[in-house]
Chains A and B, each alone.
Chain A
Amino acid sequence: MKKTPLLIAALVLLLLLAVPPFLKNYGIYLFSYWLVFVIATMGLNLTIGYAGQKSLRHAAFFGIGAYTVAILMKAGFSFWFGLPVAMLGCFVIGLALGAPALRVQTIYLAFATLGFNTAVWLVMRNEEWLTGGTFGINNIARPGLLGLSLNAALPYYYFVLAMTVLLGALLWKLLSSPWGKAFRALRDNPIRAESLGVNIQAYTLLSFAIGAVYAGIAGALFASLVEFIEPAPFAVGTSIMMYLMVVVGGAGYFFGPLLGSAVGVLLPEWLRFAQGWYLFAFGTAVVMLMLWLPDGLLSIPDRLKARRHAREASAARTAAASKVGAQT
């Protein structure tokens, strides 16, 4: 069973590498935009999918990453300096603000994170001297890599793709390690996990912190992709969208974010033929998707398996019953 995901991953990678040169600028931009969200939602998937926490503030870290890089670049520092600073900042803040998770559960945690997101957004909007307020920060440059300019659409796309693959691989390693098992234990039964010696406080905080770092990196890439940032994309609405992407793709499934972000970013594009109603169609599609597949799109293989097992089991039962009947 391990082979299939790897095979699919290889196929997807091939397509992601091969298709964009044939697309026009808009297609490349869309793919880059999609991959940025894949990175962000990978982090969120760790926090809510694998560690079972609730987080509706992911966009805040997305924003912190974006603004850190943008402000530092405006001050003359390079992107490659700004990126680690953003990562560190998000890690520290993520760790510090994971604290509420230690005290509250589920829905209260969700709202606490929502509150934090709003607070961060308020700061972004009001502190004009730092963030440019609602006027935002314009003309953000794209980084250069080892002498190569990443200015044009296609090179930058490959850069984002490389980052996505790298971060995905890191996440895979993390999840296969004992840490990954600890996170899953945290999700499935925290009290039992604690009784088994898992330091649930540390892992809770870590799940938030690592998730935040991913969002921060995505934010930095986002800033250079759009070349203009303002507070609006980092508000609660985006956090809610990211949450939607993870759940729709399949929370706790490794490739969930890939599909979920596709739904969140690409589906509204495909629905544009519906003109003014495309968002209505999108909302309805999400509801339908949830009703049909509450565990997300990637739960389809599991469901098919379960159905097959159920059929086999009932066939076995009928066979056994007829044997019993034949005996008496």
Chain B
Amino acid sequence: MTDFFQLVFSGMATGSIYALAALGFTLLWQASGTINFAQGEFVMLPAFVMLAFATFGAPMPVAFALTCVVAVAILGWAFKRGIADPLLRFGLMPIVVATIGLAIAARNGIRAGYSAEAHPFPSLFADKLFNIAGVTITLADVGTLVFALLLVVGTQAFLARTVTGRAMQAVAQNTESATVLGINVPRMIFYTFAINAVLACAAALLVTPTYLAKFDMGESLGTKAFFAAIIGGFNNSRGALLGGIIVGVSENLAAAYISPAYKDAVALVIFMVVILFKPQGLLGKKVERKV
């Protein structure tokens, strides 16, 4: 039994990592209809930027703050102005392909420009182990889970309780009406991109100690994030967290009880089932098809 709990707890910790990447992805889709195939790279880039700042001697909190600023400027503003705005009115295909190109460029730019090696990344949490009823958990596991929860709940609260957040939701639901109501739509969309950038930085800070900073860390992280977002609910922020945890836990359980070689398949099966029977995700709301 303890084995089972060990797997579940580890899975939840890994899952919260996927959730963080999924969260920004969901937000971007909700608010502006942008499908960002470079979401994984959006987490990878801040990780390397933080490493770069750290090599120049900045302590971690300072590096993090600086990276957030850089991220908002580049992954937020420049991404929006340069890629999302011009392409969104042409439908989904151009933006999908553009973000694919962006992912390739980011991945190989870091590989050629920085290094092809994996780099260790300092963890926020001390290296402590807890043993509860035979289940071993690290401080990092708990910490990541707690932070992820806080970020998700915080984002949800921001969107539901503040005026700006509500304005952003209005823009997501019906852009024309929002404009008519006097909401500064472009600015609201920019805020979404900015929040995505900051969430990606936070994800990088929490994720990279385990993932290790490597130019291709974005690939698998991005794919898992997509699955997590869809399973949980593509138009619901809490869904991202649920989806992430489901993916993380099911992978572990599958690896232990079914077959390690097919462990990815379980997340896939859940994903397919959700897509076929509840495409809006487990926590999502149904979206009507427009004629």
A residues sitting closer than 8 Å to B (CB atoms) are 48, 100, 103-108, 110-112, 114-116, 118-119, 122, 125-126, 189, 191-192, 236, 240, 243-244, 247-248, 251, 275-277, 279-280, 282-287, 289-291, 294-295
Contact = CB atoms under 8 A, between A and B. Distances in A.
A126 B279 CA distance: 29
Nearest to B94: A294
A283 B265 contact: no
A52 B66 CA distance: 43
A97 to B, nearest CB: 10
Nearest to B35: A107
Given A291-B83, A294-B87, A294-B90, A119 B268 contact: yes
Nearest to B291: A191
Contact of B230 (A106, A108, A122): A108
A290 B97 contact: yes
B108 A286 contact: no
Interface stretch (B14-22, B130-138, B175-183, B269-277): B269-277
B106 to A, nearest CB: 7
Given A103-B279, A191-B291, A236 B223 contact: yes
A115 B100 contact: no
Main secondary structure of the interface of A (DSSP, over half): helix
Interface residues on B, range: 35 or more
The 8 closest A-B pairs by CB, nearest first: A283-B105, A286-B101, A283-B104, A294-B94, A279-B108, A276-B112, A290-B98, A294-B90
A283 B99 CA distance: 9
Given A105-B289, A126-B261, A286 B268 contact: no
B109 A280 contact: yes
A284 B271 contact: no
Contacts of A103: 276, 279
B275 A115 contact: yes
Contacts of A48: 93
B101 A283 contact: yes
20 contacts: A100-B272, A103-B276, A104-B275, A104-B279, A107-B92, A108-B275, A115-B227, A115-B272, A122-B268, A240-B100, A276-B112, A277-B108, A279-B108, A279-B112, A283-B105, A286-B98, A287-B101, A291-B82, A294-B93, A295-B90
A112 B273 CA distance: 10
Contacts of B87: 290-291, 294
Nearest to B33: A107
A103 B279 CA distance: 9
Contacts of A192: 291
Given A111-B227, A277-B113, A282-B101, 19 more contacts: A105-B279, A105-B289, A111-B275, A115-B227, A115-B275, A122-B262, A122-B264, A189-B291, A192-B291, A243-B97, A243-B100, A244-B97, A247-B96, A275-B112, A277-B109, A282-B105, A283-B106, A286-B100, A286-B101
A67 B106 CA distance: 33
A166 to B, nearest CB: 28
A248 B94 CA distance: 8
A115 B279 CA distance: 14
A125 B44 CA distance: 27
Interface in B202-221: none
Nearest to A49: B93
Nearest to B260: A126
Nearest to A274: B112
B216 to A, nearest CB: 11
B104 A282 contact: yes
A247 B101 contact: no
Nearest to B110: A280
A6 to B, nearest CB: 27
A280 B108 contact: yes
Contact of A114 (B92, B111, B226, B291): B226
Nearest to A283: B105
B268 A118 contact: yes
Nearest to B82: A291
Contacts of B35: 107
A283 B272 contact: no
Interface string B249-263: 000000000000110
Contact of A290 (B101, B223, B264, B289): B101
A290 B84 CA distance: 11
Given A100-B275, A103-B276, A115 B268 contact: yes
B100 A100 contact: no
Most chain B CB within 10 A, of A100, A108, A126, A189, is at: A108
Contacts of B92: 106-107
B86 interface: yes
A129 B97 CA distance: 37
A247 B97 contact: yes
B234 A107 contact: yes
A104 B281 CA distance: 12
Given A112-B272, A277-B112, A290 B262 contact: no
Contacts of B106: 283
A291 B102 contact: no
Nearest to B37: A240
Given A122-B265, A286-B104, A290-B94, A111 B109 contact: no
Interface in B67-122: 82-83, 86-87, 90, 92-98, 100-109, 111-113
B29 interface: yes
